[in-house]
Amino acid sequence: MITDRLDNAATYRGLGKRMSAALRFLKKTDFSTMEPGRHEIDGANIYVLVQNYETKPREQGRWEAHRRYIDVHYMAEGAERIGFANVQDLKAAGEYCRKDDYVLFEGEGNSLVLREGCFAIFYPQDAHMPCLAVGGPEPVLKIVVKVRK
């Protein structure tokens, strides 16, 4: 897992062409004008999910991880808490869903606060629990870039 401010995105160019393209897209795009939903950047190799929602209490959170994609979570407006843990430290809570590329987990981990202008990169070994309230529920505009590994 990597977390940083988008201002420092150039530091991560060495993570590969697709990751570089994803971070460049985040830097140059005005998300306040994009409709919520899926938008392709490079077909199934890189696509973006524009999400507007209200953060929720920790009790409603679910651990998830992906096998085919790396997630880049970028907070365009607002802030949320995101849990993180290595999948080896959690217990699978179901079978892998190949169609939607996720597996759910149970267990405990750590958390970070993703604030406006910041991003976090979650690799397949990084289970994450997104969408959690920092204090109380608040509306956010979050962008998730899915990067095929």
pLDDT of residue 120: 98
pLDDT of residue 111: 97
Residue ranges and CATH numbers for the domains of the chain are: 2-148 (2.60.120.370)
Q: Give dist(CA 49, CA 110) in Å, integer.
A: 25
CB 106 within 8 A of CB 117: no
pLDDT of residue 118: 98
pLDDT of residue 84: 98
CB 53 within 8 A of CB 39: no
Name the stretches of the chain with pLDDT < 70.
none
Please tell me whether the overall predicted TM-score, pTM, comes out greater than 0.75 for this model: yes
Closest CA to 110 of 128, 123, 124: 128
